[in-house]
Chains A and B, each alone.
Chain A
Amino acid sequence: DTEVTQTPKHLVMGMTNKKSLKCEQHMGHRAMYWYKQKAKKPPELMFVYSYEKLSINESVPSRFSPECPNSSLLNLHLHALQPEDSALYLCASSQEGGGNTIYFGEGSWLTVV
């Protein structure tokens, strides 16, 4: 079983709603990630946090707002999303630095109606 836990597993939200996705890891990893995956496509990197600071933002629209409250938690705040934002949102973590195994969670399935 993955040691990266994501909640909720499924989320349906309207375009005017505000919701959040949550992620937790207890492996002592200092790098945490948000990826987005559309059906039959590879995961695409959205954000990277390193030591609780945002280190990479892959030009993600501002309607997605990440937050890293502490080294074990990662949130993704969602506001005014579009139907095309419907996807599987994957949280991941790793030891700091490149070349380290990245562990993915099960993902949160988001549907925007």
Chain B
Amino acid sequence: QQQVKQSPQSLIVQKGGISIINCAYENTAFDYFPWYQQFPGKGPALLIAIRPDVSEKKEGRFTISFNKSAKQFSLHIMDSQPGDSATYFCAASKWNQGGKLIFGQGTELSVKP
């Protein structure tokens, strides 16, 4: 019940295309869903986050879509660029768990020029 399942494991997209990464969770008590971007040799950096009271959040080229009934959320990267090539992790947490993040397994994104 604590798991967050992420797919695909790896993704290759052409420059200018749309990258889509999906996550699914079981625990309905989760109430905070961040996405992290990690470049090789660096720590994860928060990209965008959403709470279950909204169905979509957009920040620049990055959009989170959230489907509470299906217990799924996804990251869309519009106009993907080679500089977006990184590993992306979805995560979930509960307000009363002191910030403990449950991460998905990660998606390695490669954007080809």
- List chain A positions with a Cβ less than 8 A from chain B: 2, 4, 31, 33, 40-45, 48, 50, 55-56, 90, 92, 94, 96-107
- List chain B positions with a Cβ less than 8 A from chain A: 31-32, 34, 36, 41-46, 49, 51, 87, 89, 93-101, 103-106, 108
Cβ-closest chain A residue relative to B32: A99
Using Cβ atoms and an 8 Å threshold, which residues of chain B touch A99? Answer: 31-32, 51, 93, 95, 99
Using Cβ atoms and an 8 Å threshold, which residues of chain B touch A55? Answer: 98
Contact assessment for B98 and A43 in the assembled complex, using a CB-CB cutoff below 8 Å: no
Using Cβ atoms and an 8 Å threshold, which residues of chain B touch A92? Answer: 43
Contact assessment for B43 and A100 in the assembled complex, using a CB-CB cutoff below 8 Å: no
Using Cβ atoms and an 8 Å threshold, which residues of chain B touch A33? Answer: 99
Contact assessment for B93 and A106 in the assembled complex, using a CB-CB cutoff below 8 Å: no
Which of A40, A42, A50, A55 has the most chain B CB atoms closer than 10 A to its own CB? A42
Contact assessment for A45 and B104 in the assembled complex, using a CB-CB cutoff below 8 Å: no
